[in-house]
Amino acid sequence: MKQEKPRRARNKGGMMTDTLRQEPSNRDLAQQHAEALLAAARRAQTFAYAPYSNFAVGAAALLTDGTIYPGCNVENASFGMTVCAERVALFSAISAGRLDIAAVAVVTDTPALCKPCGACRQVIAEFSRADNPIIILSACASDETGLEPITTLLPDNFILL
């Protein structure tokens, strides 16, 4: 599905008018870049710091222009200070001034798919648009993959009024 976005352009009479341009859906972008996105997440997984759980997770955030920001989980002896791979990837993109997140990949070495935790789902939802939600791409050791919008994983996210 394509989203339409207003853009300024000159009409035949030279007047500035709003036109509509097609914006690819986040699902289309995730499918187009799935291989590179999963490869970046797998590469990031190799840098995970997980001495307490031995549960290495890699993630990667895909932006609308195809840029990818990787992330890995970073554990701490004070378990509450541990940061998940998905949030590391998102925060890396946001720290670079980018909020146009199209998809987030998460990879683990588990035999079945492992999806983002509740905290990560809420953070992802914070940057998602209702009309074009962020897509979650997950993969595991069995090469099974999943592709679903954040709105499926967190249908009623917290919104501060």
Query: Are 49 and 57 within 8 A, CB to CB?
Result: no
Return the active site residues.
Answer: 86
Which residues lie across from 84 on neighbouring strands? none
